[in-house]
Structure formats: C-alpha cells, structure tokens
Chains A and B, each alone.
Chain A
Amino acid sequence: MTCPVTIRIQEDDFDIAREIALLTRSRTDIGAVVSFSGICRSDEDGAKVAALTLEHYPGMAEEEIARHVGEATSRWPLNGVTVIHRVGRFMPGQNIVLVLTASQHRQAAFQAAEFLMDYLKTNAPFWKKEESATGTGWVEAHIRDDEAAARWTRS
C-alpha cells in the first residue's frame, strides 16, 4: 500500500477540494478521506479576537509533523496524508490548518486525523499571538489539549 505524504508550511491559503483531488488522483484503493480544517475564530472564552498571528520554528516544525505522520502511518493502514499549516496573521474565518487522511475504510482515516491534530496542537512548534480590544498576548497552552494528546499514548 502506498501512502504519499504531503507536509507544507505556508503563508498562502489552501484549497481543500484541490488538496483532496491531489491526494486521491489516479487511486482506486482509497475508500475514505477525512478532512479537518482549523479556522481562526473570533470568540475565545468570551473575548472577541480581532486577529491571530502564528509563528513557527522553521525546520523543526516540518520534521516534527513528519514524525507524527510517520507514527500515524505505523498505527493505521493509511493510503495518504496531507498536512498544511499556515503561518502569518489571520482574521476570524480564515483557514489555519488542514489535515487530510485517506484510507481504505473510514475508521483509520477518522482516528488518524484526530491523532494528528491532537499531536500537532501539543508537539509541533507553532505559537499563536492573539489581538483583541484589550491588547495583544500569546495564547496559553490548554491542559485539555495535553489531555487530548495523552489519550493516544500507548503503554
């Protein structure tokens, strides 16, 4: 089973339909594609967010995502993975991250997409800075994200 992997960090927006078409092009073995999009939202715990700026660690970010994709492909029978993470300044409603997972049956694609997002949030070197009416500040990591990632840990 071939599992092509695409990992990109970019300022530009992505086109979900185009990325799915690239992932499934000339393939007849794929029966399921799961797509997760992370979007900049305006409401953060009751406060209005005007914009988000995403910073990353070039080099390590790509390598860390690749390590997680490698882990996902070893845990589930995947037929393709695409991870695109944008950096720069975003307004509410704009795309931030895309995860696509393809597999023969839906369960692997669903689980791998969730696994990848949980690990991206806690282990990939990206940081969000939030602008609101009350000022600008770095977003604090949430314990709920650590807990979400921890449930995938194998004993």
Chain B
Amino acid sequence: MKVKYFAWVRERVGKAEEIIEPPASVRTVEELIAWLSGQSEAYAYAFEKPKVIRAAIDHAHVKPDAAIAGAREIAFFPPMTGG
C-alpha cells in the first residue's frame, strides 16, 4: 500500500510517500503506526506522540482503530491548520 506523510510528520520521516508492505498481523491504523515506529528512529520520532497523529484512508479521515485492509493510500499528518 502507498503511504503519504504531510507537514512535520513528512519532515521527521524524511520522505513524502512510499510503498510499504506491513505483515498481515498489522490490521489497524494504530497498529500500522506502532509497526512503522519500530522500523527506524526517524519513524519513531515522527510517531512519538501517536495520539496527536491524524490519519486518512483513501482521502477520508479515519480513527486509530480503523482497519487498513483494502486501503490503496494511507496518509499520516498532524492536526490541520488551514483556512
């Protein structure tokens, strides 16, 4: 699946997007955050406060317990500050 990062999450991860293949045991958004955090210090830094991180699946906001099965694109970003 494709993963995108925005704002300071993007800066901390060090890339804007990538293709990842998490193991089948990773089923939800929060499990994906935990799995990514274990991949490197950059991810651990980006996701050090998981409660602050917002997520979207296929362009729609989702909660941490949302299932990632079938997702084409998952995005992680900080709380929004537009307008």
A contacts, CB < 8 Å to B: 38, 54-57, 59-60, 63-64, 85, 96-97, 117, 120-129, 138-141
Contacts and interface: CB of A to CB of B under 8 A. Distances in A.
A125 B56 contact: yes
Given A97-B82, A127-B7, 18 more contacts: A38-B83, A54-B82, A56-B82, A57-B6, A57-B75, A60-B59, A64-B59, A64-B61, A85-B82, A120-B83, A121-B82, A121-B83, A122-B80, A125-B6, A125-B77, A125-B80, A126-B83, A127-B77
Interface string B41-83: 0000000000000001001110000000000000101111111
B82 A120 contact: yes
B72 to A, nearest CB: 11
Nearest to B79: A141
Contacts of B61: 64, 123
Interface of B: 4, 6-8, 56, 59-61, 75, 77-83
B5 to A, nearest CB: 10
B4 A57 contact: yes
18 contacts: A55-B6, A55-B7, A57-B4, A60-B56, A60-B60, A63-B59, A96-B83, A97-B83, A117-B83, A120-B83, A123-B61, A124-B83, A125-B56, A126-B83, A127-B78, A138-B8, A141-B78, A141-B80
